[in-house]
Structure 1
Amino acid sequence: MILPHVILENNLVLLKPLESSHDQILWPIAQQVDLYRFGSTDVSSQEKLRDYIKNALQEASDGKSIPFTIYNKQTSKYVGSTRFGHIDTKNKTLHIGWTWISPETRGTGFNHQMKFLMLRYAFETMQFEKVEFRIDERNVVSRKAVEKLGATLEGILRKNIIVKNGFRRSSCCYGILKEEWKDIKTERFNHLS
């Protein structure tokens, strides 16, 4: 099953479908992020970035993900990548993650706007029942960002993923349910709706 060609945008954020040629525009950003520190993904070389994109596009063709490049319309620059993943159309659940953005974009509210576009699409267009986030227990910044979205910590998977240097991380599992979305949208994203 191939998922639809999706473009999400507002006045600041443009999420465009990831393409194999995007390795060139994403490489300068990939050099600035330590994605492998908390996750199992490594984009620390051009070859590893190409493999990352290739895997994301394979998952997309298998109907398991919708990967994006992230473009900042205010600065007219590409600033990273994100995706819907682990898409389960039968149970109507998916994950939002694999997000990496340039250091200068962090802490500006850009990620909050981007996640709003993604959550709105998952709940209102795809009509999914649940959106999940899995974050390294040690990644306090990302955990706080997801909590700011209104996601609930549902539990911790202990030592479930191998990351840099063979370290086994524990993953915090956060979720938002469809029936929670209306209130979360009003309380957390009212200025964006």
Structure 2
Amino acid sequence: MMPCKNEHGQTIGDAVPNWKVPSQPEKITLIGNHGRLEPLVVAKHADDLYAAFKPCVHNGDWTFLRIEPFQSVEQWQKFIEERVKLKHIVNFAVIDNLSSKAVGMIALDPIDSPNGVIEVGSVFFSPLMKNSILSTEVQYLLMAYVFDKLSFRRYQWKCNSLNISSWKAAERLGFTYEGTFRNFEITKGRNRDTAWFSVINNEWPKLKTAFQAWLDSSNFYECGRQVKKLTDFRKD
């Protein structure tokens, strides 16, 4: 494809014909085979989240979060109350179908509708979600909602550049590493360099096919172990 040139002979960005600002995300329920995402509610989810995260209060799961471990259900209640008051964030609780309990949280924030850009963030997955099909399924459900239902152009992910597990998760899910903003923030009194990742709309169809193939029941043994990795389904 030939690069676009203006009347001055300068290379400019491609035109975006018939661009329509995407719909705003809503507080809806997104249903999968292993779990669902539903609007975060204090009375409904605080107790479950406290119980789910209690085993990791004293381990490294909180190191790269902006908050410290919650020691009581009251702290969880206050945290959720403050989050749901924020109008610019759409918060979801992750519900496990087997237990019907909340086992994690995830959010869409920030949301830049005029430019078609949205970010997945505040990913709090409890030990009950680690290495589970559910942890991948909810990421797929949210990505499908953003691209298929809302028609955003860009879905982004940021993390502390030293958070290797978050970095690996982004790459496994199909995000492309774009670069690192140095001295981006001060978090818990320490410097944070922030790594940026994204999926854009023309990449989504291939990723969607890979997610659906990986999530299919035929890709898992009876014990729940995967037959093929998610990245295997993205190979040409």
- Are 1:127 and 2:151 matched, yes or no? yes
Deviations 1:13-70 (A, max 9, x none): 11110012232221122333455410213342345433431232122xx2x2210111
Q: Match for residue 8 of structure 1? A: 30
- Offset of residue 192 of structure 1: 3.7
Separation in structure 2 between the aligned mates of residue 156 and residue 143 of structure 1, nearest angstrom = 11
How many percent of aligned residue pairs carry the same amino acid?
24
Separation in structure 2 between the aligned mates of residue 39 and residue 158 of structure 1, nearest angstrom = 18
Letter in 2 for 1:19: V
Separation in structure 2 between the aligned mates of residue 142 and residue 126 of structure 1, nearest angstrom = 25
Give runs of aligned pairs for residues 62-81 of structure 1, distance below 5 A: 62=87, 64-81=88-105
Provide the TM-score with structure 2 as the length reference.
0.72
1:155 corresponds, among 162, 170, 179, to: 179
Aligned length: 188
Quick one: structure 1 residues 177 and 3, their matched pair in 2 at CA, closer, same or farther if it must change by over 3 Å?
closer
Give runs of aligned pairs for residues 85-164 of structure 1, distance below 5 A: 85-164=109-188
- SS of match in other structure, 1:110: helix
Larger Cα-atom Rg: 2
Q: Is the 8 A contact 1:35 1:41 kept in 2?
A: no
Separation in structure 1 between the aligned mates of residue 118 and residue 196 of structure 2, nearest angstrom = 12
Separation in structure 1 between the aligned mates of residue 150 and residue 112 of structure 2, nearest angstrom = 11
Provide the TM-score with structure 1 as the length reference.
0.87
Q: Match for residue 50 of structure 1? A: 77
Cα RMSD for the two superposed structures: 2.1
Separation in structure 2 between the aligned mates of residue 14 and residue 122 of structure 1, nearest angstrom = 15
Letter in 2 for 1:11: N
- SS of match in other structure, 1:74: coil
Q: Match for residue 38 of structure 1? A: 64
Q: Is the 8 A contact 2:160 2:194 kept in 1?
A: yes
- Offset of residue 183 of structure 1: 1.2
2:191 corresponds, among 157, 168, 184, to: 168
- SS of match in other structure, 1:6: coil
Q: Is the 8 A contact 1:132 1:176 kept in 2?
A: yes
2:41 corresponds, among 19, 27, 30, to: 19
Structure 1, unpaired ranges of 5+:
none
Structure 2, unpaired ranges of 5+:
1-23, 217-236
Letter in 2 for 1:133: W
Q: Is the 8 A contact 1:43 1:49 kept in 2?
A: no
